[in-house]
Amino acid sequence: MRDVNLRDALNRPLRDLRISVTDKCNFRCTYCMPKEVFGRDYVFLPHAQLLTFEEIARLARIFVAGGVEKIRITGGEPLLRRDIEKLIAMVAAIDGLQDLTLTTNGSLLAEKARSLKEAGLGRITVSLDSLDDAVFMAMNDVSFPVAKVLGGVEAALEVGLAPVKIDMVVKRGTNDDSVVEMARHFRGTGCILRFIEYMDVGNSNGWRTADVVPAIEILRLIDAEWPLEPLEANYYGEVAERYRYRDGGGEIGIIASVTVPFCQSCTRARLSADGELYTCLFASQGHDLRTLLRAGASDEEVAARLASVWRLRDDRYSDIRSSETVGLPKVEMSRIGG
């Protein structure tokens, strides 16, 4: 029986679980895994410390019983995890789960799209920060070309992983002049382009408020080219403010956790690849579930641990962001996804 009444200290339900399956990535995006920190000598998690697919699926079932309706598979880059399709099939079979999706950098998507769809994946989100090769290669910092990511997007559309969402992190002076070009390219394609304000995630991206392009500025840039009108949220806790083109050209979203925080309606929990439960993207400490699993705990005992963590949750980092909080140690985004 599902416990849909589980609420945190601020009366927020648990509805969305993001599961990282690896801390490794083949990109070195400057706002997430800069080479200066994640270089050749960086030590990633050994395989024995990663949750097995069986452990992930078991936890996913427990979370769904606790009220989770949507699961997003993340990384690192999740398509680097060997046989990821097996995990997709296991999670897709969970009774009560309404939405299963995955976020990827798109580098392996062209070859994986069909098998992911056949395994039971419903939708996919692709991170793409510019259509300009020079800009994109500088941001991913491994000289990966735009064309291969776009090929992955086309493959996802072809097999029906829809709607395909495209996530663009906008950083002033880096790719903000790509905003209108991105909107032009994805208008009318059926893809939903989402612009994300540059955030102070992790400890290594050198974040400054001056680098943030506010949501209202992004909105005005696009509206000046193609008039927009707001849309209602699809569900409680949706992070993106939705807009559609008045001429019928489709939909965009803007995620403004810096200038318009949405902590008050955050329904998301995050599970790291090594089994740490985090209750905020900006958390400094997780809660170890892997040890509990491997010590032989029952589903009821794991569920009780989850409930005790969630009921005490009072995170609202973006609401209280300040010069003092920005410098606090935080979990790296590469460990828990976006």
User: What is the rounded average pLDDT of the residues 297-314?
Assistant: 97
Return the percentage of the chain with pLDDT > 90, whole number. 81
| Separation between Cα atoms, residue 173 and residue 176, nearest integer Å | 6
On the question of pLDDT at 54 being above 90, the answer is yes
Q: Using DSSP bridges, classify how beta strands 16-20 and 268-271 pair: parallel, antiparallel or unpaired.
A: parallel
| Sequence ranges of the domains in the chain | 16-336
Q: What is the pLDDT of residues 55-85, one digit of tens each?
A: 999 999 999 999 999 999 999 999 999 999 9
User: For residues 314 and 9, is the Cβ–Cβ distance under 8 A?
Assistant: yes
User: What is the rounded average pLDDT of the residues 256-270?
Assistant: 92
Answer with the residue of higher pLDDT: 248 or 338.
Answer: 248
On the question of pLDDT at 1 being above 60, the answer is no
| Separation between Cα atoms, residue 23 and residue 43, nearest integer Å | 10
Would you place residue 4 in the very low, low, confident or very high pLDDT band (cuts 50, 70, 90)? low
pLDDT score of 202: 67
Question: CATH topology for 16-336?
Answer: TIM Barrel (3.20.20)
Q: What is the pTM of this model?
A: 0.95
CA 14 to chain CA centroid, nearest Å: 16
Answer with the residue of higher pLDDT: 311 or 236.
Answer: 311
Mean per-residue pLDDT over the chain, rounded = 93
SS (H, E, C) the chain: CCCCCCECCCCCECCEEEEECCCCCCCCCCCCCCCCCCCCCCCCCCHHHCCCHHHHHHHHHHHHHCCCCEEEEECCCHHHCCCHHHHHHHHHCCCCCCEEEEEECCCCHHHHHHHHHHHCCCEEEEECCCCCHHHHHHHHCCCCCHHHHHHHHHHHHHHCCCCEEEEEEEECCCCHHHHHHHHHHHCCCCCEEEEEECCCCCCCCCCCHHHECCHHHHHHHHHHHCCEEECCCCCCCCCCEEEEECCCCCEEEEECCCCCCCHHHCCEEEECCCCEEECCCCCCCCEECHHHHHCCCCHHHHHHHHHHHHHHCCCCHHHHCCHHHHCCCCCCHHHHCC
Return the percentage of the chain with pLDDT > 70, whole number. 96
Would you place residue 327 in the very low, low, confident or very high pLDDT band (cuts 50, 70, 90)? low
